[in-house]
Structure 1
Amino acid sequence: MTLNLFDSRAQSVRAFAPITPGQVGIYLCGPTVQGLPHVGHLRSALVYDQLRRWLEVKGMQVTLVRNVTDIDDKVLENAKVTGEPWWGLAYRFEIDFNRAYAALGIKPPTYEPRATGAVPEMLELIERLIANGYAYQADDASANVYFAASKWAEYGSLTNQRVDDMDADADADLRGKRSPHDFALWKARKSDEPESAAWPTRFGLGRPGWHIECSAMATKYLGSNFDIHGGGLDLRFPHHENELAQSSAAGDKFANYWLHNGLVNVNGQKMSKSLGNSIFAADLLAAAEPAVVRYYLGSAHYRSVLDYHEGVLDEAATAFGRIQNFLARANRSGTAETFDGSTLEALPAAFIAAMDDDLAIPVALGVLHDTVREGNAALDAGDAAAVRKAVIGLQAMLEVLGLESDSENSAGSAHTQALGSLIHELIAERNAARAAKDFARSDAIRDQLKAAGISIEDAADGTHWSVS
């Protein structure tokens, strides 16, 4: 392997070496299905889909586990508001998440466990922590069980912090906790919570804490030591810090690499429910065709902040349209062909180098668009061999990025459809002027379109347009 990845724990780029040659295990923190999916959820899922696709192109067999947190405080609270069973609300939103993932071409995970399906494994992990002296039942004899953060000498190693410098956990007011930095492994059932949201244990009725879920599910499906743990940057602390601490204290080596994707801003501000600026998946997918949304979400480096503002989808549609327009031109010329070798063999060397450099997709997209420009130049020059080379390389890059499209000027967003309607009217008027030998009017229409950034091409099967 020549792939290099930025390991959040080491705070440096490291050469990636899988534990088992030819196989990679990835655990990805999936959604808490308390509400509708938003652009941040889509961006995170897409980042690890890009990583998975690249590993598979390089010959790796990837096992990707993406969990679903289907029970927590917010799920229970939101179910009270809607008046439905908590498990019904969770499942309803889980369907919304999977629908959005599928629309973007995000491959389904190898396994997608729900937290409620791994309670026995969570309880077994808690017992190991108690036996090792790193967990305790609350001093008030309630069913609350806590991890003793101050007892674990390496606590804070993921985020390079010391316990004494950390803010107390949000649930620090719970009775029976010995230190404000300790966090809940098991939560006692509250009187206003449904009985169906609690499990009987030797501690009493309760439900899992958030952090214990992922430690139990990751090791259940990938073993006590696996390759990569991924998630959004907002999960790094406290969630991933607590995962690492409890798993290590229980005796598991856990993840060899920690990857974190950047967050999403809206008009330069952090996206948050409190600001009321959330961009929901359904609205995003209604504004542009899925391939354009995927192009936009995947266009920035995965560790950078992705900013959403008015016009970003139009910019993505224009960029993606250039790709489609070239492929359409190549198809009409009769010089396009499908490569029957491996995807890796068809990729430009510069694209491979970019992807191996911590998934530098902005650089990889630069290679892709250079290939489009070279292909268009080859078409203009009548160089069939160069066109075929460009098409093969382009198809391979699109496959890696999950942007395969064989439709000519596909339906696209409402903006694209409206533009196409106007352009076809002008083309029809131009063709009528040419038939009437009114070449002055014909040339004027062509110049009008050119000034607007629209190129037209007269072919045997009609006149075709593209954004120049």
Structure 2
Amino acid sequence: MKIYNTLTKTKEEFRPLKPGQITMYVCGPTVYNYIHIGNARSAIAFDTIRRYFEYRGYQVNYVSNFTDVDDKMINAARAEGITVAALAERYIAAYKADTAALNVKPATLNPRATHEISAIIDFIAELINKGYAYEAGGDVYYHTKKFAHYGELSSQNIAELEEGASDHLNDDEQQRKEDPIDFALWKGQKQSDELAWDSPWGKGRPGWHIECSVMSTKYLGDTIDIHGGGQDLEFPHHENEIAQSEAATGKKFVHYWMHNGFVTVGADQEKMSKSLGNFVTVHDLLKTTDPQTLRFFMASVQYRRQINYSSQNLTQAQNILQRFKHTLVNVDFRLKDTSSSVASAALSQKLEQTEQKFVAAMDDDLNVQNALAAIYELLPELNANSAAEQADKTTLRQARGRLTAWLAIFGIEADQLTAETDSTDEDAAVIQLVKERDQARKNRDWAKSDELREQLQKMGITVEDTPLGTRWRRD
């Protein structure tokens, strides 16, 4: 299996640190608001990656954090007149509810920054002892230039970074920092109502970047297999994580860096973000959109590619899911009959070929488009065999299992997809018309039969005459 490593800018053969086991850390949300679908894209992308690893037999230790203290949280809590802790609890619960609706598997562990203050202080102290950090007026900064490989992940030029940083510093920061590109590990308390903890450098709170270094190394080890997150985290967040972690441990921090593409909106394909005000929250979207459709829409694009969010693209995803549903219903319907199974070498061969193509595509840096294309080619074969006078029920049953497993990688549960909804008065009317059409066919009243079929078509109902009787479905 090959995955694209952001650090080396190449596809590399994936070799885990321990055979059969994967350590995976994915940066989670800052919990000051509902997540938008750009945030959800990262959760869905890495859940899909995790699920595929598990499909391939790996045991995945998946850690994803909650940043539950930073400037945005302090400002949001202050605006509402509540504590930062109360704000965090609200939006952690909302995040879990929204991602559960999108069938994102719970992480092995969701550590929280405020629960790791002691470990964070110890980590910062280690960096100071090793000469990579310094205290200045109650703050602690990382001495960036002392880390020889700074900028390699995001291909940043140190001189250009220094020039750019100088333009954005206020006078106080300029005086405290030894270098404009140094970044904060610990922020001293500036106002009395700010959330703060005691430390050797006075009351304060951790910087954003140090949290993930501490939580990753604490729960997964000094060196991990995969670190993931959105492309916007490459710099400065992940660059700073590398600098902090490798300076503290003296070991390689991450073997494979993986970053998902942005979600864009509109004809100009502008990146979706809260700062631009062009975002749609998952919380609101789920009120009007089927969660399976949204999940499939996000999961069916290769993780490194950007996704353009639009109602048309959502509709396309919904139509594809309907194709899967239609095939699964056809297979299930045929498997219920009591006729004997007649082997089809062609169908069995096609199923094995599909498995091979699917795995080959997914092993190529999770190329989900090619993987899905392989499955699409199988669907007509399954539909044809399900409707045949003599069906290969043994292979159909195997195909049902494979299709269920493949869809699960994309977060789609086959049984949920095919679940019947409660009958309505309209359903009763359809059933009555289908019965009348069946009777007309028995009476060889073809004109009446055709008339009833047309009536049903106008109601959005497709009628199918199969060897096992008449079936109907909504278009």
Q: TM-score, normalized by length of structure 1? A: 0.88
Matching residue of 2:348? none
Per-residue deviation, 1:286: 2.3
Matching residue of 1:392? 401
Q: In 2, are the aligned partners of 1:188 and 1:205 still within 8 Å (CA)?
A: yes
One-letter amino acid of the structure 2 residue matched with residue 305 of structure 1: Q
One-letter amino acid of the structure 2 residue matched with residue 327 of structure 1: L
Match of 2:364 among 342, 357, 362: 357
Aligned length, in residue pairs:
449
Q: In 2, are the aligned partners of 1:325 and 1:466 still within 8 Å (CA)?
A: no
2:287 is paired with a residue of what secondary structure?
A: helix
One-letter amino acid of the structure 2 residue matched with residue 201 of structure 1: S
Matching residue of 2:343? none
Matching residue of 1:260? 259
| CA distance in 2: counterparts of 1:463 and 1:257, whole angstroms | 50
Per-residue deviation, 1:283: 2.5
Q: In 2, are the aligned partners of 1:184 and 1:209 still within 8 Å (CA)?
A: yes
1:432 is the counterpart of 2:436: yes
1:348 is the counterpart of 2:355: yes
Larger mean Cα displacement after TM superposition, 13-22 or 434-443: 434-443
Matching residue of 1:290? 291
1:181 is the counterpart of 2:181: yes
5 Å matches for 1:49-68? 49-68=47-66
| CA distance in 1: counterparts of 2:97 and 2:61, whole angstroms | 21
| CA distance in 1: counterparts of 2:244 and 2:315, whole angstroms | 46
| CA distance in 1: counterparts of 2:382 and 2:51, whole angstroms | 25
| CA distance in 2: counterparts of 1:253 and 1:51, whole angstroms | 23
1:168 is paired with a residue of what secondary structure?
A: helix
Matching residue of 1:377? 384
Matching residue of 1:235? 233
Q: In 1, are the aligned partners of 2:144 and 2:183 still within 8 Å (CA)?
A: yes
One-letter amino acid of the structure 2 residue matched with residue 164 of structure 1: A
Matching residue of 1:203? 201
Matching residue of 2:19? 21
| CA distance in 2: counterparts of 1:378 and 1:352, whole angstroms | 24
Q: In 2, are the aligned partners of 1:431 and 1:442 still within 8 Å (CA)?
A: no
| CA distance in 2: counterparts of 1:232 and 1:169, whole angstroms | 26
Q: In 1, are the aligned partners of 2:408 and 2:414 still within 8 Å (CA)?
A: no
| CA distance in 2: counterparts of 1:157 and 1:300, whole angstroms | 27
Matching residue of 1:340? none
1:147 is the counterpart of 2:142: yes
1:157 is paired with a residue of what secondary structure?
A: coil
Using a 3 Å threshold, how does the CA distance of structure 1 residues 346 and 383 change in structure 2: closer, same or farther? farther
Q: In 2, are the aligned partners of 1:430 and 1:441 still within 8 Å (CA)?
A: no
Q: In 2, are the aligned partners of 1:135 and 1:148 still within 8 Å (CA)?
A: yes
What do you get for the CA RMSD once the two structures are aligned?
2.8
Larger mean Cα displacement after TM superposition, 366-375 or 60-69: 366-375
Q: In 2, are the aligned partners of 1:347 and 1:397 still within 8 Å (CA)?
A: no
Using a 3 Å threshold, how does the CA distance of structure 1 residues 118 and 336 change in structure 2: closer, same or farther? farther
Q: Deviations over 1:94-127 (max 9, x none)?
A: 0000111111221111111000111122111211
Q: In 1, are the aligned partners of 2:24 and 2:62 still within 8 Å (CA)?
A: yes
| CA distance in 2: counterparts of 1:408 and 1:49, whole angstroms | 19
One-letter amino acid of the structure 2 residue matched with residue 191 of structure 1: Q
1:168 is the counterpart of 2:165: yes
One-letter amino acid of the structure 1 residue matched with residue 384 of structure 2: A
Using a 3 Å threshold, how does the CA distance of structure 1 residues 356 and 181 change in structure 2: closer, same or farther? same
1:129 is the counterpart of 2:137: no
One-letter amino acid of the structure 1 residue matched with residue 260 of structure 2: N
Per-residue deviation, 1:86: 0.8
Per-residue deviation, 1:296: 0.9
One-letter amino acid of the structure 1 residue matched with residue 300 of structure 2: S
Per-residue deviation, 1:430: 5.4
Per-residue deviation, 1:381: 2.9
Matching residue of 1:404? 413
Matching residue of 2:31? 33
1:311 is paired with a residue of what secondary structure?
A: helix
Q: Deviations over 1:382-402 (max 9, x none)?
A: 452253343233122123333
Per-residue deviation, 1:288: 2.9
Structure 2: gaps of 5 or more residues: 339-350
| CA distance in 2: counterparts of 1:452 and 1:357, whole angstroms | 44
Per-residue deviation, 1:160: 1.5
Q: In 2, are the aligned partners of 1:232 and 1:260 still within 8 Å (CA)?
A: yes
One-letter amino acid of the structure 2 residue matched with residue 390 of structure 1: A
One-letter amino acid of the structure 2 residue matched with residue 255 of structure 1: V
1:221 is the counterpart of 2:215: no
| CA distance in 1: counterparts of 2:84 and 2:3, whole angstroms | 39
| CA distance in 2: counterparts of 1:40 and 1:307, whole angstroms | 10
Per-residue deviation, 1:449: 6.5
Q: TM-score, normalized by length of structure 2? A: 0.87
Match of 2:9 among 8, 11, 14: 11
Per-residue deviation, 1:439: 3.8
1:406 is paired with a residue of what secondary structure?
A: helix
Per-residue deviation, 1:310: 1.6
2:165 is paired with a residue of what secondary structure?
A: coil
Per-residue deviation, 1:379: 2.0
| CA distance in 1: counterparts of 2:456 and 2:363, whole angstroms | 41
Structure 1: gaps of 5 or more residues: 338-343
Using a 3 Å threshold, how does the CA distance of structure 1 residues 421 and 391 change in structure 2: closer, same or farther? farther
